[in-house]
Amino acid sequence: MQTLLDELRHIVGNAHVFTDGDLTAWEQDWRKRSHGKALAVVRPACTEEVARVVKACAAHHLLQRHPASGVSIVPQGGNTGLAVGSTPDDSGRQIVLSLQRMNTVRGLDADNLTMTVEAGCILQNLQERAEEANFLFPLSLAAEGTCTIGGNLGTNAGGTQVVRYGNTRDLCLGLEVVTAQGEVWHGLSGLRKDNTGYDLRDLYIGSEGTLGIITAATLKLYPLPAARLTAWAAVPSLEAAVTLLGLAHRHLGAGLTGFEAMGQFALSLVAKHFAQLRVPLHLDAPFCVLLENSDHESELHAHTQFEHLLETAFDQGCVTDAVVSETLAQAKQLWHVRESIPLAQALEGLNIKHDISVPVSAIPEFVRVTDALLEAAIPGVRLVNFGHLGDGNLHYNVQAPAGVDAAAFLRDQEALVNRIVFDSVVAHGGSISAEHGVGSLKVEHMAHYKSPVALAMMRAVKQALDPLNIMNPGRVIRV
């Protein structure tokens, strides 16, 4: 091991290989569900260094008599993942390869509407860089101040703008990837049409570092809208929220860039733990909806569209009350309330998180059935239901009953809760992971909820691209 560590120090510099001291920032996941033990944290500065690190680890692995004695690699960006997919296990034989030093914007092509960036770029910095050039990079997440674009691509992150712009996969035109053999695939094309064989880009996006290491990407940009307006509406039911979504599609068209649903209990946690925030209308309705209209004509046109939409919604009874932001500051305040739900839930105590998707049309029935099943199995259980209704993605989280120890609840009830929720998701035609990835938390569920044919194809891809199984093993798929 010492020979390998010396080689890694030679590649990236002694100051960028950490083996002792407090490595919690790299070894513990954001939710504090897991704390592993890394052989070393290695921080390369460029793609060439990443390739040399991978080659060194692969060579060391081949020298071992037993595969279990080899070293594997865990790629890591901002370490903000929610499925424990980017932290080491407790074997002490994994290299955490942190891409945070690789944070350069390599170029912005205004005519081609693209920006080429390195994987360690923080998402918020990319948003700001695009806006400085009078463009929009629409990926938006609660963790955008710390998450990196490499991690976003690795998990195919979604966020609040998916209803209009799609997931991270839809925002990416090309990749640069270091393979499991330490070779570099130069795929940073800004082309929107290229039918020369298999789409390798889409293969690596969402693979969570199990097939190779994304080191750079070419991303799509969009013109900045002339106006952005936000409305917050109280709705009498999820059925009404789905009706409102249909009306929003018809009235706003492509201008509908955000449609979030938030349950009353989820919003009550924000009001409880962030008293300085004003949470509108949540005491008067079981759900509230947050809508965003991005208009490319004018602010007056955007207001007129919103007025017509809300008038129709009131007439049809799918909205009982609403407020429309008059300033950018008011809009940011409304979004801040929505983005504070995960933090408020964390302050309430450990919880069982679910990042699920079902067809939008099935969401009301899924929630009704699953709520009833959980309440029957665990009397007093508290359900924190919120998420991206516009694209069918709910964060359907489960909190312990009031007064019950949260850690004990997690230990004793997680398996039961997951089975109830996941069975219901599949029964309603959905997926057990929508935007957070599989990581290690859901990998054991894949055999039960993914088709055998799909699993066999995934294993074949993994074995073909990473035959030594050194790239983030034990994540996404078991081999």
224 in Cβ contact with 245 (< 8 Å): no
Give the pair of three-digit tokens for residue 317: 């009874």
Query: What is the tens place of the pLDDT at every residue in 320-356?
Result: 999 999 888 899 999 999 999 999 999 999 899 999 9
What radius of gyration, in Å, describes the C-alpha atoms of the chain?
23
Query: What is the tens place of the pLDDT at every residue in 416-442?
Result: 999 999 999 999 999 999 999 999 999
Query: What span, in angstroms and rounded, lies between the C-alpha atoms of 77 and 101?
Result: 10
Give the pair of three-digit tokens for residue 472: 């983030």
Q: How far is CA 45 from CA 3, 4, 171, 454, in A?
A: 21, 19, 25, 37
Query: What span, in angstroms and rounded, lies between the C-alpha atoms of 296 and 309?
Result: 17
Average pLDDT score, the chain:
95
Q: Which amino acid is at 36?
A: G
Query: What span, in angstroms and rounded, lies between the C-alpha atoms of 91 and 93?
Result: 5
Give pTM, 2 decimals. 0.93
Domains of the chain: 2-98 (3.30.43.10), 105-223 (3.30.465.10), 227-342 (3.30.70.2190), 349-427 (3.30.70.2740)
Pairing of strands 72-76, 94-98: parallel
Taking residues 245-270, what's their average pLDDT? 97
Number of H helices, E strands in the chain: 16, 19
Pairing of strands 40-42, 94-98: parallel
User: 3-state class of 304 per DSSP?
Assistant: helix
The per-residue pLDDT for 249 is 97
Is the pLDDT reported for residue 50 higher than 90? Answer: yes
322 in Cβ contact with 248 (< 8 Å): no
Q: Which backbone phi and psi does 274 adopt, to 5 degrees? A: -130, 70
Query: What is the tens place of the pLDDT at every residue in 244-255?
Result: 999 999 999 999
Query: What span, in angstroms and rounded, lies between the C-alpha atoms of 94 and 390?
Result: 39
Query: What span, in angstroms and rounded, lies between the C-alpha atoms of 189 and 423?
Result: 41
The per-residue pLDDT for 67 is 64
Query: What is the tens place of the pLDDT at every residue in 154-186?
Result: 999 999 999 999 999 999 999 999 999 999 999
What is the percent of the chain with per-residue pLDDT over 90, rounded to a whole number?
A: 92
Query: What span, in angstroms and rounded, lies between the C-alpha atoms of 352 and 396?
Result: 9
Residue 134's pLDDT band (cuts 50, 70, 90): very high
Pairing of strands 222-223, 256-263: unpaired
Is the pLDDT reported for residue 374 higher than 80? Answer: yes
Query: What is the tens place of the pLDDT at every residue in 286-305?
Result: 999 999 999 999 989 999 99
Nearest to 266 by CA among 204, 207, 188, 344: 344
Give the pair of three-digit tokens for residue 111: 């005519």
